[in-house]
Amino acid sequence: MVAKRKEEVPIYNRLAALRAERGMSRAELAAAVGINPQSVGFIERGDYGPSLELALRLSRVFGLPVEALFSLEPLPALSLQVYGKEEE
């Protein structure tokens, strides 16, 4: 399910932050979407980009639109997006 990207365009993501916010381990997230926990780490680090299907399954786990999890542009801090300010 995890496809190695051929191009050098990075895919930014918030998986680690969202997992931490929900107290979820890599193993728990992996089990929820049917992949290996190591694959979660690869995706979080940007080593691999998820397939569209996997990105949609991940977004379903967190109850967020896929564009809240993944972007072709660096993602601003959630506190900045939600509250309009940097975390203190």
User: How do residues 59-87 score in pLDDT, each as one tens digit?
Assistant: 999 999 999 999 999 998 877 777 776 65
Q: Which of 60, 44, 53, 51 lies closest to 12, judged by CA?
A: 44
**Residue 43: per-residue pLDDT:** 97
3-state secondary structure at position 43: helix
Domain ranges within the chain, ordered by starting residue: 9-72
Contacts of 63 by beta carbon, 8 Å cutoff, 6+ apart: none
Distance CA 72, CA 32 (A): 25
9-56 pLDDT per residue, tens: 899 999 999 999 999 999 999 999 999 999 999 999 999 999 999 999
Look up tokens 């660096």; give the residue: 74
* For residue 4, pLDDT beyond 70: no
CATH 1.10.260.40 is the classification of domain 9-72:
yes
